[in-house]
Structure 1
Amino acid sequence: MKTIAILSGKGGAGKTTLAVHLGVAAEAAGHTTAIIDLDPQASALTWKDNRKHDTPAVVSAQASRLPQLLKTAADSGADIVFIDTAPHSEATSLAAARNAELLLIPCRPAILDLHAIGATVEIARLADVPAIVILNAVPARSTLADEARAAINTYQIETAPCQLGQRIAFVHSLTAGLTAQEYEPKGKAANEINALYTYIEKKIGA
């Protein structure tokens, strides 16, 4: 079983958006997927409550239960688990990182977000787990993405070659308990998620 933790010290970075969209993409690719929601706000669980489909499985829990939940997921046949973490909780992020094979760090191309990833990068280094920054909510027709990539390079961490745009399909789909690939299968948001999932799938060898 592969475990991917999604970390960010800043609220609103897009952790839950990544978790549920990649979870559904993994299911579409033939994997059995689970999402563990460690955020007290339980946004992923709220999304699941609004969802008519049975998959992916979503469970909300405290970080102290993470090892047992991962064992339960493996025993239940999950082959990819995404961990959605809480912002402003280094202890939770570190616990998730230490139980993962890969870390994803969503980051908006804005100055405050770019400054905030420094602490998350340090958590990745403490856990000694590979990490990738995912640029999220990138405005169309803007140089912000290139500028953000240059800033992220100063942390000596990889940035995914594919990024997610600032698209209303992400908002509308989550509200409906769906993902962009389900809400608008041929839309730009869906294409971006599919490209990102393909990239991550190769990274973890799934």
Structure 2
Amino acid sequence: MKTLAVMSRKGGAGKTTVAVNLTLAARVMGVRAVLADADPMRSACEVLKGRDEAASVLFETSAAKLFTLTQACQRGGVELLIIDTPAAPEADVAEAVKVADLCLAVARPTYLDLAAAVMSVAVIQRLGREGLIALNQCPPARNGVEPPAVLKAFEALRFASLPVAPVALRSRVVYQTAFAQARSVMEMDGGGAAAREVQELFGHVWRQLNGEGRAPMRTANDDLGRTHARAGLAMVPTA
């Protein structure tokens, strides 16, 4: 069994949106995945409680119970446990990080979100776990050109000491439309842009969880370079 902790030390980054959509994407793709809602806000529970199979896909839990839950899931034949972590306190966040095979730090392309991502990275590295950063709620590219806020976010994350997922999730209304029906974007609109982005992100996360394709690892700097190249811009050398 693999365990993924979805993290954000700042509210509003879309941590629960990512955790729920990755869990349901995994199930659509044939992986026996369950979601542990360890966030006292219980947003994941609010979304998923209306599903017929809610009892088998969702566990309402706390940081103190995560170790016991992971053991129970492993005995039950679960292939992937995704944890929607609390934003605070740090001790509770650390409990989720400790049981995770991979930690996914979610951040919007804003100054405060990126600062919170750095805090998540610090916890991940202090506890010696594997980590990955995912940009969420990014404005869509226009005519193949990334908005300046996204470019600046990739640039800033070059210094975060963790790889960045090669696909950014965009700000799209379909996420809220799907949640209102207790569904994921893949279930709501399987051929849409949001569904493709979630599927690509899940594929990247799943490969990393299973030790596939780790070298060479795509980083924020790599993606920024490719984006600049597409836009006809030159990379600024760094020390």
| TM-score, length of structure 1 as denominator length | 0.95
* Residues 38-53 of structure 1 mapped to structure 2, 5 A cutoff: 38-53=38-53
- Taking the aligned partners of 2:109 and 2:118, their CA distance within structure 1 comes to 14
RMSD of aligned alpha carbons: 1.4
* Deviation string, structure 1 residues 106-149 (Cα, Å, up to 9, x no partner): 10001111111121111001111111110000012312222101
- Taking the aligned partners of 1:52 and 1:186, their CA distance within structure 2 comes to 24
Whichever residue aligns with residue 210 of structure 2, its letter is: G
| TM-score, length of structure 2 as denominator length | 0.83
SS at match of 2:72: helix
**Structure index of larger Rg:** 2
Q: Which runs of 5+ in 1 are unaligned?
A: none
- Taking the aligned partners of 1:93 and 1:29, their CA distance within structure 2 comes to 28
Question: Is 1:27–1:56's contact at 8 Å kept on the other side of the alignment?
Answer: no
- Taking the aligned partners of 1:137 and 1:6, their CA distance within structure 2 comes to 15
Question: Is 1:98–1:129's contact at 8 Å kept on the other side of the alignment?
Answer: yes
- Taking the aligned partners of 2:55 and 2:180, their CA distance within structure 1 comes to 17
User: Match for 2:171 among 163, 166, 169?
Assistant: 166
Structure 1's consecutive aligned runs of 4 or more residues displaced over 6 angstroms after TM superposition are: none
- Alignment of 1:147 with 2:152, yes or no, is yes
Count of matched residue positions in the alignment of Structure 1 and Structure 2: 206
What is residue 73 of structure 2 aligned with on the other side? 73
What is residue 120 of structure 1 aligned with on the other side? 120
What is residue 198 of structure 2 aligned with on the other side? 193
- Taking the aligned partners of 2:99 and 2:54, their CA distance within structure 1 comes to 25
**Percent pairwise identity:** 30
Whichever residue aligns with residue 156 of structure 2, its letter is: A
- Taking the aligned partners of 2:57 and 2:47, their CA distance within structure 1 comes to 11
SS at match of 2:160: coil
Whichever residue aligns with residue 167 of structure 2, its letter is: C
- Taking the aligned partners of 1:172 and 1:100, their CA distance within structure 2 comes to 30
